[in-house]
Amino acid sequence: MIYLDYAATGPLNARARDAMAPYLGGAFGNPSGLYRIGREAQAAVDQARATVAGCIGARPTEIVFTSGGTESINAACLGIAYAMRRAGSGNHVITTAIEHHAGLHVAQFLEELGFEVTYIGCDGSGRISVDEFEAALRPETVLASVMLANNEVGTVQPVAEIARLVREYASQRQHRVLLHTDAVQAPGWLPLDADTLGVDALSMSSHKFGGPKGSGVLYLRRATPFRQLIHGGGQEMQKRAGTENVAGIAGTAAALEFAVAGISERTARVRRLRERLRDGILATTPGAAVNGCQVDCLPNNLNISFEGIESEALVAGLDRRGIAASSGSACSNSTWEPSHVLMAMGVPIRRAVGSVRFSLGEATTEAEIEEVIQVIPGEALQARAASLALT
């Protein structure tokens, strides 16, 4: 199989597997236990917390381990918004129309809870407007959530610029606004430093950077107002109750450390492969067009629309040829509808329904890319013929 859906998930990194192994066997203790294997488990969690903090320029006490990116996003947005409203700071939230569904659906839930939510649009490249964001700020604003890099088209958002704007706004009006970013697609592809970004909260998902599924990270800057969502014991510094997933936490730390260490070489090589794939498809496949920014973007993400087809037909054809790609966000593949990201970008609906996302990984080879370039034209032609037969 030629795997080109790393934005959805990737294989478990060997270092992560090795780090997890002891806690899947004899070192099975509960970190809350006072006996030896409990203390050993707690030590593993503490070490992992320090490792993750070091990878993103944070303090260990600012790292909360979760069950994945979705929980991290939900916890940040709900926990901060609730805490700020409870303190009497306001009930207005700003987010973007191109967030992952984990972010959009939590924004909709906040509306059900009585919050007002403003959704910022984007331009044709998938980049949001800082001016539009600034215009949305108001005295009742307590939280803004802006993803760092889009999972469908790869466009990188001006999060650091927005953070500076938020701080200036807060300073001038003596009114605090907290900023969260969904950084799920970023580890291993973009530099991640909490202070440089200037955010108060940041969400990551372990399996996106070579760690295990079911494990994630929430960064909460020190003194950030927060109300925990999962209640029970006092785990995770009173921010997330429940017995810690020691194996998952250990694997997450090992995978993130590896992803951060090799970022420069990895991004340069994979960017070249992505550009070769893009240029090869555009040169050989009539009706193909790129969606999203190709400059300020993730180096491994390529979203292409194929005129006159439905993407599911092309993805199925590629699958029969041993090539794995995606017809959009992996979390929405159970429902057939145009990508909300492409719609927000103003992509015509007939182009949007024919979009395919190719996302490369560290293991992607030049030979694989060349094979995909050879296969795409014929499969696109067959998918177009199938679509015409249904009309």
Average pLDDT of span 201-220: 98
H helix or E strand, kind and range, residue 7: none
Task: Report the percentage of the chain scoring pLDDT > 70.
Answer: 97
Beta bridge partners of 116: 92
Q: Which one from 77, 122, 293, 331 is the annotated catalytic residue?
A: 331
Model confidence at 182: pLDDT above 80: yes
- At 294 the pLDDT is 85
- At 336 the pLDDT is 62
- At 262 the pLDDT is 87
Q: What CA dihedral angle connects 243, 245, 249 and 252, to 10 degrees?
A: -140
> 282-287 — which CB contacts under 8 Å span 24+ positions?
284/373, 284/376, 284/377, 285/376, 285/377, 285/380, 287/380, 287/384
Is 55 one of the annotated active-site residues of the chain?
no
Between 157-161, 218-222, 381-385, the lowest mean confidence (pLDDT) is in 381-385
Between 1-5, 6-10, 42-46, 168-172, the lowest mean confidence (pLDDT) is in 168-172
Average pLDDT of span 203-228: 98
What whole-number distance in Å separates Cα of residue 264 and Cα of residue 275? Answer: 17
Q: Residues 6 or more apart from 48 whose CB is under 8 A from it?
A: 65, 249, 250, 252, 253
Average pLDDT of span 156-175: 95
Give the start-to-end residue ranges of the domains of the chain.
2-8+263-390
- At 386 the pLDDT is 83
Model confidence at 150: pLDDT above 60: yes
Nearest to 194 by CA among 234, 157, 222: 222
H helix or E strand, kind and range, residue 315: helix 311-320
- At 25 the pLDDT is 94
pLDDT band of residue 330 (cuts 50, 70, 90) is low
Q: What is the edge-to-edge ordering of all strands in the sheet holding 178-182?
A: 63-66, 216-220, 201-205, 178-182, 141-145, 92-96, 116-120
pLDDT band of residue 151 (cuts 50, 70, 90) is very high
Model confidence at 329: pLDDT above 70: no
Can you read off the two tokens belonging to residue 67? 């069950």
What whole-number distance in Å separates Cα of residue 50 and Cα of residue 86? Answer: 31
Model confidence at 117: pLDDT above 80: yes
CB-side exposure of 185: number of CA atoms within 13 Å? 27
Strands 288-291 and 301-306, how do they pair? antiparallel
DSSP state of 113: T
Predicted TM-score (pTM) of the model is: 0.95
- At 388 the pLDDT is 76
Task: Let me know if 365 is exposed, middle or buried by CB neighbors in 10 A (0-12, 13-18, 19+).
Answer: exposed
> 315-319 — which CB contacts under 8 Å span 24+ positions?
315/356, 317/379, 317/382, 317/383, 318/375, 318/376, 318/379
Average pLDDT of the chain?
A: 95
SS (H, E, C) 37-84: HHHHHHHHHHHHHHHHHHHCCCCHHHEEEECCHHHHHHHHHHHHHHHH
Sign for the pseudo-dihedral over CA of 373, 375, 381, 383: negative
- At 293 the pLDDT is 87
What whole-number distance in Å separates Cα of residue 104 and Cα of residue 118? Answer: 11
**How is domain 2-8+263-390 classified at the architecture level of CATH?**
Alpha-Beta Complex (3.90)
pLDDT tens string 250-307: 999 999 999 999 899 999 999 999 999 999 999 999 999 999 988 899 999 999 999 9
Query: Helix, strand, or coil here: 3?
Result: strand
Residue where the block lists tokens 């950077």:
209
pLDDT tens string 15-33: 999 999 999 999 999 999 9
What whole-number distance in Å separates Cα of residue 373 and Cα of residue 283? Answer: 9
What whole-number distance in Å separates Cα of residue 206 and Cα of residue 208? Answer: 5
- At 284 the pLDDT is 97
